[in-house]
Amino acid sequence: MSEGIGLFAIFFAAIFTDNILLTNYLGMCSFLAVSREVKTSLGLGLAVIFVMASTSVLNWLVYYYILVPLDLTYLRFIVFIIVIASFVQIVEMIIERISDVLYAALGIFLPLITVNCAILGVTLFMVIRDYTLKAAFAYGLGSGLGWALAILAMAGIREKMARSRVPRGLEGAGITLIIAGIMALAFMGFSGMINLN
Amino acid sequence: MARGRVKRLFIDDLGANNPVFAQVLGICSTLAVTNVVKNTVVMCAGLVFVVTLSNFTVSSLRKWIPSRTRMMIEVLIIASYVIAFDIVIRAYLPDISRQLGPYVGLIITNCIIMGRAEAFALSNPPTVSLMDGIASGLGYSYVLLSIAFVRELLGSGTIWGARVLGDWWVNWSIMVMAPGAFFTLAILIWIVKGWLLKREQGRSE
């Protein structure tokens, strides 16, 4: 029972209080580049949720069943990145085969994800915090949802803002960062509820 | 001629073509480690080390790297240097290593390093690539350091852990937290971009 609550706490914290994008600043590059439209953000968000949840479990297995017994933990950066890159590649091939619709919706975003630092970041956090397999899954899924939530909210705001006049020097990245800052402030409101670490 | 070229590289990377301002690349770590100047210095040292050596290595091997698998090979080269750096700071600066946490490993996915390898090292000889690595590393570092300076000063009233502002100063604790990072970077980008736009206007008139 208490384990269930612990898992839920991790899941909840990963979405709100410890949002991977707004409090850990991960995945900013694609966040700034792709958050212009709600539709594309949704596609990328879904792809990130799926890849994050799967790679955190995969990397957990690789880390505790291969690297730790062989005493190769110092190689973890390389191994994690290879696991993530090959996983993304395989998923892309499978999706291309089985569903055109899905490929059109998600496929184009998958290559972008390999270089999304949030994916590697989730794996590294999970190793540093000594999560169990279930906790790693909860954390990966929660972080993915949190990231998707942040980019969707941002895309919604940016679509509304497209017609407003922004000082020229602030156009593009500048104003997006300011909005992100305000969003981070809003998310800090959750922070009394649950704490990770 | 080579010297003129290297000089131009430095001017480009430190000024108008700075990766953080012009392309807004690699800002994950810009935001994450800049709440304290000390950590930022370590992070910057790591970044300069990795980007310089990976640029050099990629460029030396460029004739043997097959173009289909080049991304993977570049990532592996970068990851090897990051591992070396991680082991060194873990041994000599364990405290800072703990504070930086996963962000050292995340140097691997810093788009600037990959970007330099792709855009420069693959098509230029090793020595020039080495110089380019140093230049873009430094260009990135000074932006990081200026952000860290502002954030630590306003957020804790200290620089490098030493008290600078007196007792009258009330810490803006928001600056050391996430929103402060976003705001500081946004304002810095605004200032630099505004200046560049003004200069362009002045030229066209």
pLDDT number for residue A138: 94
More confident residue, A166 or A144: A144
Averaged pLDDT of chain A: 85
- Whether A62 shows a pLDDT value over 90: the answer reads yes
Which of A121, A125, A188 shows the shortest C-beta gap to B177? A188
> How many domains does the structure of chain A reveal?
1
pLDDT number for residue A1: 42
Pull the structure tokens for residue B99. 């504070």
Chain B residues whose CB is inside 8 A of the A24 CB are 32
Whether A85 and chain B come into contact, CB under 8 Å, resolves to: yes
Determine the Cα–Cα distance for residues A125 and B102; give it in Å rounded to an integer: 6
- Whether A197 shows a pLDDT value over 70: the answer reads no
- Whether A93 shows a pLDDT value over 90: the answer reads no
Convert A176-192 to b/e letters by CB count within 10 Å (16 or more is b).
Answer: bbbbbbebbbebbeeee
Task: Tell me if A117 sits within 8 A of A27, measured CB to CB.
Answer: yes
Position A5 in a domain = no
- Whether A139 shows a pLDDT value over 70: the answer reads yes
- Are B102 and A124 a contacting pair at CB < 8 A? yes
Determine the Cα–Cα distance for residues B96 and B40; give it in Å rounded to an integer: 10
More confident residue, A90 or B20: A90
Position A60 in a domain = yes
- Are A28 and B28 a contacting pair at CB < 8 A? yes
Position A12 in a domain = no
pLDDT number for residue B2: 59
Position A2 in a domain = no
Give the distance from residue B49's alpha carbon to the nearest chain A alpha carbon, in angstroms. Answer: 17
Counting as low any pLDDT under 70, the low residues of chain B are: 1-3, 13-17, 19, 22-24, 29-30, 205
Whether B43 and chain A come into contact, CB under 8 Å, resolves to: no
Name which of A91, A121, A105 is nearest A29 in CA terms.
A121
Q: What is the DSSP string of B131-158?
A: HHHHHHHHHHHHHHHHHHHHHHHHHHSE
HEC string of chain A? Answer: CHHHHHHHHHHHHHHCCCCCCCCCCCCHHHHHHHCCCHHHHHHHHHHHHHHHHHHHHHHHHHHHHHHHHHCCHHHHHHHHHHHHHHHHHHHHHHHHHHCHHHHHHHHHHHHHHHCCHHHHHHHHHHHHCCCCHHHHHHHHHHHHHHHHHHHHHHHHHHHHHCCCCCCHHHCCHHHHHHHHHHHHHHHHCCCCCCCCC
pLDDT number for residue A123: 92
Chain B residues whose CB is inside 8 A of the A113 CB are none
Task: Tell me if B153 sits within 8 A of B164, measured CB to CB.
Answer: yes
pLDDT number for residue B86: 93
Query: Tens digits of per-residue pLDDT, B163-182?
Result: 878 778 888 888 888 888 88
Please name the helix (run of DSSP H) or strand (run of DSSP E) that holds residue B56, with its range, or none: helix B37-60
The pTM of this model reads 0.85
Which of A75, A115, A178 shows the shortest C-beta gap to B186? A178
* Banded pLDDT at A114 (limits 50, 70, 90): low
Position A8 in a domain = no
* Banded pLDDT at A195 (limits 50, 70, 90): low
In chain B, domain spans: 21-204
- Are B31 and A120 a contacting pair at CB < 8 A? no
Determine the Cα–Cα distance for residues B96 and B98; give it in Å rounded to an integer: 5
- Whether A125 shows a pLDDT value over 80: the answer reads yes
Q: Which domain holds residue A45?
A: 19-188
